[in-house]
Amino acid sequence: MQPRAIRSYVTRAGRLTEAQSRALQQLWPRYGIDFQPQLLNLDQLFGRQAPRTLEIGFGNGEHLLERALTSPERDFIGVEVHPPGVGHLLLMADRANVTNVKLIAHDAVEVLQQQIPPASLDEVQLLFPDPWPKKRHHKRRILNAGFAQLVASRLTASGRFHAATDWTPYAEQMLSVLNECPLLANCAREGGYAPAGEVMARQATRFQRRGERLGHTVHELLYHRC
Ligand SMILES: C[S@@+](CC[C@H](N)C(=O)[O-])C[C@H]1O[C@@H](n2cnc3c(N)ncnc32)[C@H](O)[C@@H]1O
């Protein structure tokens, strides 16, 4: 497969704390899945059959860990390219001794294309993706028509895709792209944003809190596979 020309992130060296650096070495064998262009056997990976959530760009992982702790009946896969965030989540996961989380430190688009089997996820979450506000950078936004189809193809027949952003122009683009996706149906009445009551209560993510401090409106979008 050809490497993608445009990515939704730029590789930042990022400052790893000593503890994060140690975690990346010592805890990776317990929680990490190396990227390989080969489909994963998710039942084997988690040692059971359970509903599965994949979170794209989990940042520092607080939200993912909280969900894993409060939903022990589900399994969670987190995908993130920023090493300090991965190290942070590894440390928290180890401290909490969770057994239902696995991490992949690689581009989520390639992970979905090459590692995640079709119709294998019950839920995909994309929370506060980089908004790339400048017009010349819009092409870097992860959510586009191809991405919507890719995510939808990895959902089970009853699977759901949940996205959120505090950047209104991006929210508008998400809404129009997702409403156009033939494999997804909007859960909200009249094809709009999901009312707060329809989206599962969850811990605010770091970027959500930042957006709220700046006075931004948070838009949530909820779709099911059709
Ligand atoms: C704006 S931050 C939001 C982080 C977190 N979801 C939150 O709400 O606090 C976006 C995150 O997505 C990650 N990211 C961007 N593109 C990605 C990709 N293609 N694959 C995996 N992670 C990605 C970035 O490294 C960054 O941590």
73-91: pLDDT as tens digits: 999 999 999 999 999 999 9
Please choose, from the candidates 100, 79, 218, 203, the residue with its C-alpha nearest in 3D space to the C-alpha of residue 150: 79
Residues with a catalytic annotation lie at: 130
Cβ burial 127-141 (10 Å sphere, 16+ → b, else e): bbbbbbeeeeeeebb
Nearest CA owner, ligand 1 atom 15 = 9
Residue corresponding to tokens 């959500």? 208
Q: Tell me if 107 CB under 6 Å of ligand 1.
A: yes
Please choose, from the candidates 64, 226, 67, 38, the residue with its C-alpha nearest in 3D space to the C-alpha of residue 148: 226
pLDDT at 138 over 90: yes
What is the crossing angle of helices 62-70 and 83-96, to 10°? Answer: 30
Write down the pLDDT at residue 5. Answer: 76
From the CA of 58, give the closest atom in ligand 1.
Answer: 6
pLDDT tier, 1 (very low <50, low <70, confident <90, very high otherwise): low
Q: Tell me if 165 CB under 6 Å of ligand 1.
A: no
Using the mean position of ligand 1's atoms as its centre, give its distance from the Cα of residue 129 in Å.
5
pLDDT at 14 over 90: no
pLDDT tier, 4 (very low <50, low <70, confident <90, very high otherwise): low
Q: Does the predicted model carry a pTM greater than 0.85?
A: yes
pLDDT at 3 over 70: no
Q: Tell me if 9 CB under 6 Å of ligand 1.
A: yes
pLDDT one-digit tens code per residue, 51-74: 999 999 999 999 999 999 999 999
pLDDT one-digit tens code per residue, 75-133: 999 999 999 999 999 999 999 999 999 999 999 999 999 999 999 999 999 999 999 99
pLDDT at 20 over 90: yes
Task: Name 185's bridge partners.
Answer: 224
The preferred substitution site among 56, 88, 139, 218 for testing ligand 1, maximizing ligand atoms within 8 Å of CB, is: 56
Average of per-residue pLDDT across 167-181:
98
Average of per-residue pLDDT across 153-180:
98
What's the CA gap between 223 and 226, in Å, rounded?
Answer: 9
Write down the pLDDT at residue 189. Answer: 83
Write down the pLDDT at residue 195. Answer: 84
Average of per-residue pLDDT across 148-172:
98
